[in-house]
Chain A
Amino acid sequence: MKVSFNELKSMSKGAARGSGLSWGQAEEVSFATVWLLKNGFDVSNDLISLLESDIIYPPNNIDKDIWENKSGDLDPIKSGVALLDLNINKTIVLRNVFLPYFLIPFIAQLSQSMLIKANNFSAMLIDGRVKTNVKDLPSRSEEVKLSAISDKIELKYSQVPNRCKVADDVWNRLEELTYLTYAPATEESRVLGAGAGLSDND
């Protein structure tokens, strides 16, 4: 189905919250999802994998220049958010990143232009714009190296589409996850509803 970006924004936030993330983290997931779809990456399917994965982790130690977690793959949202929170402008290596392109929206917000060189893709991020060397981005990278770009390069602006296409089953799953944030109705809540007990037919 075709949805507006506003619909995608609220649905991805709700689904992220429904998957167990905090509201603040859910806002980050929503931002990253909308950013990627606006920039031409069809990530809606992978969003479900991201939200449903329970074997991805934040980096153990963000003081180091190599970010990893011995327990398993890095969570691209928690890693991307930490990169942005620290306003990283130096070389950092991330080891074993799940859905690595979910890092891109956060790296694109850094004040410094950055180059991502992974073992299976690369991307340039300049002034909030992105250029990648592959069409289909990998679902996992063993190594993602991040470094500052000092050369003056300008990336072409590409027109943002005014809708995004999301497969029906993906949208339905996002709805199901969002639904987990809604409280079941009780008799008491019906009685206390905004217009309950008052006649509208006047």
Chain B
Amino acid sequence: MLKVNSKNKIELRDASEVMKLSRMGSFHQSRLSFMRILMRQLKDEKWTFKKVEFAINEKGIGHAVYSAIGPHNTYSLVAFAHELSDDKRSDRVIADAWDATFTLFDGIPTIQDIKRLQKNVPFQEVGRISEKELCLSRANKSVRLWEHVISSLSNGSQPDVNQIDSVGYLMRTTAVYGSGKFGAIDRDFVLDRKEFAAPFQSELLSVFMIRWFVLDLVNFMAKVRNPGKFVPLQPDIAHRLGIGNSTGLGMAPFLLNHPILLNNWILARETALSRVRSIQQATDREVKLFLELFKRSCSLISLWRSDHELQIQKLKELGNDLELLTVHLTEFTLKSQYPWDKLHNWSSKNLSIEGQELIVSLMMEPYGHIIDDLSATMSDNTQSYEKIDGLKTVGEIKAQLQDVYSWIFKIDWKRNDTKARAWYVSQEKLEPRLGERFSEPVEDYEQPLSPARDAYLLSLALNKSDEKMLMAKFLMKYPEHRHTIRRLQIISDNPYAEIQDNTISSELLPIDMLRCKLSFFGAIHFDPRSDRWVRICMFKGAPYPDQMSNSVSDYWSYLEGFES
């Protein structure tokens, strides 16, 4: 029986500690990550998967259809494979051609549906999908690994495992769009489907099935090259392959544009941590599982490669943390009272932030029975309109601002470096970008993605106004603060809704925002390519759809069987 002493319940970590980008940019996947939630759901509900069609020719051009059949609904990945010259292959959003393009269809597509999709999906943003589709995505090959795998298999041998591990994927997605984008069905209309209760489930179901298609495609193309000598990729090697993802600035403002969603993600994770830290006594089984996963994490982290100096430094610190932890875990007994709280407190004093957050994710692992229910709280299904309380006075809003945004008053807003950057959308890319305010002509086009500076500007306007003035009147006089007043209301009700850092500072690292979001997806192997672009790996170590069964481990993301 679970021993949680309600009198000694550990409080949630304060937002001022959690919501710093240095910490958010050090988050690791956990059992509340959306890929983990998806895999549990597919397993628990006994989803089955079927390859419906594989109409790819010897040049690798054509389409394929794979279906996921759940207790209530069926979804199909419709994949289109293309011929792409090397000079056209780009992960950037300005690309207009890809090695493969995909959509997730609601049901099983007819021939007419396939014909319609064929005219649209390969063109991605330029095409249109319909209410019958949930997602639109595309992927490019990892040229170095793709060729190595094809040449090995077509020569009758298996590819080199070290090369497989050093890249981690045969294809990487460069965008996975959902939620009504480019004509897809709005999320509101599929909210009542249990399989989409947690965030990003349709997008991740797409990626899970893309990984299957890519495996089939690489085997097929290797066989085409030399049918006589071809051997298929061994399952244990295929298991080591995930799907890569290349993500740039387009994703960074997501956390700012969806404050309630961000709050719900972090609140779920912090609640889980609090529940685990409040456990008075760990069982032998829980301790054993934790230690086993810690050991596997050490192997997993040893496979984590990055060429970027920031991540190299973080990995070095994480390596030191693992050494310290290894020693600490032999001396420290997890059989003591409140072991997880003690371990958490020790890690806060002795480890880097990377290491601290790794421990947070790891200590949740043995406790699915007390934290998995939180996955149902991570969406923002209300999507309700936030009406402004215009009956509040200037004086009341000033007090509220001081309370909720106290940290912004510690920033010296007169300095240029505190507002050196400006978020804008470029005509060329139609995507958010980060410009230099004082050297580029972008300020006039600034997006509302600097809540700290905007709250400061609001405070100046409030200081000039009569304390008794109603907000309804204040906002008629200062309509430029309407967005920030609405945000203040949202942040006041949702403690983890705001990143408590300056998002236009010269020191901002957008990759921290990307990493936070991607860790909630369940991504591993964060490999920044610059301070604003990161590559990651998804579903590495997961079973393939046709291998789903009751025996699939809940701990697949710790790469079982990877120890070399």
Contact = CB atoms under 8 A, between A and B. Distances in A.
A5 B183 CA distance: 9
Interface stretch (B233-241, B525-533, B552-560): B525-533
B525 to A, nearest CB: 15
Contact of A183 (B183, B184, B441, B471): B441
Nearest to A198: B529
Interface string B422-453: 00111111100111100111101100100000
Interface stretch (A24-32, A41-49, A115-123, A135-143): A24-32
Contacts of B322: none
Contacts of A1: 128
A92 to B, nearest CB: 13
A189 B391 CA distance: 44
Given A185-B427, A192-B436, A200-B91, A85 B248 contact: no
B89 A201 contact: yes
Interface residues of A, number: 46
B370 to A, nearest CB: 35
Contacts of B441: 183-184, 186
Nearest to B390: A85
B92 interface: yes
A65 interface: no
Interface in A55-111: 58, 62, 78, 81-82, 84-87, 109
Interface in B524-553: 529-530, 532-533
B209 interface: no
Contact of B181 (A7, A84, A162): A7
B91 A195 contact: yes
Contacts of A7: 180-183
Given A4-B186, A202-B142, A193 B92 contact: yes
Given A192-B435, A194-B249, A195-B91, A162 B185 contact: yes
B126 interface: no
Most buried by B among A2, A21, A22: A22
Contact of B427 (A23, A82, A184): A184
A188 to B, nearest CB: 6
Given A24-B480, A188-B440, A200 B89 contact: yes
A181 interface: yes
Contacts of A5: 180, 186, 188
A155 interface: no
Contact of B530 (A85, A86, A190, A198): A198
B476 interface: yes
Interface size class of B (residues with CB under 8 A): 35 or more
What's the dominant secondary structure at chain B's contact region? Answer: mixed
Nearest to A32: B385
Interface stretch (B349-357, B410-418, B482-490): B482-490
A96 to B, nearest CB: 18
B479 interface: yes
B486 to A, nearest CB: 6
A188 B87 CA distance: 23
A24 B426 contact: no
A194 B427 CA distance: 15
B475 interface: yes
B186 A186 contact: no
A27 B448 CA distance: 11
Contact of A200 (B130, B131, B246, B473): B246
A21 B479 contact: yes
B476 A78 contact: yes
A163 B131 contact: yes
A200 B432 CA distance: 20
A6 B181 contact: yes
B72 interface: no
Contacts of A185: 426-429
A167 interface: no
Interface of A: 1-7, 21-25, 27-28, 31, 35, 58, 62, 78, 81-82, 84-87, 109, 162-163, 179, 181-186, 188-190, 192-195, 198, 200-202
15 contacts: A5-B186, A6-B186, A22-B482, A23-B482, A24-B475, A58-B476, A85-B388, A85-B472, A85-B475, A183-B442, A186-B440, A194-B249, A198-B533, A201-B87, A202-B143
The 10 closest A-B pairs by CB, nearest first: A24-B482, A85-B390, A6-B180, A4-B180, A194-B248, A85-B472, A24-B483, A185-B428, A183-B445, A23-B483
Given A181-B445, A198-B530, 19 more contacts: A6-B187, A7-B183, A21-B479, A22-B483, A24-B479, A24-B480, A62-B473, A85-B389, A85-B471, A85-B475, A87-B389, A162-B189, A179-B427, A183-B444, A186-B440, A189-B440, A195-B91, A195-B248, A201-B86
Interface of B: 86-87, 89-92, 128, 130-131, 140, 142-144, 179-189, 246, 248-250, 385, 387-391, 424-430, 433-436, 439-442, 444-445, 448, 470-473, 475-476, 479-486, 529-530, 532-533
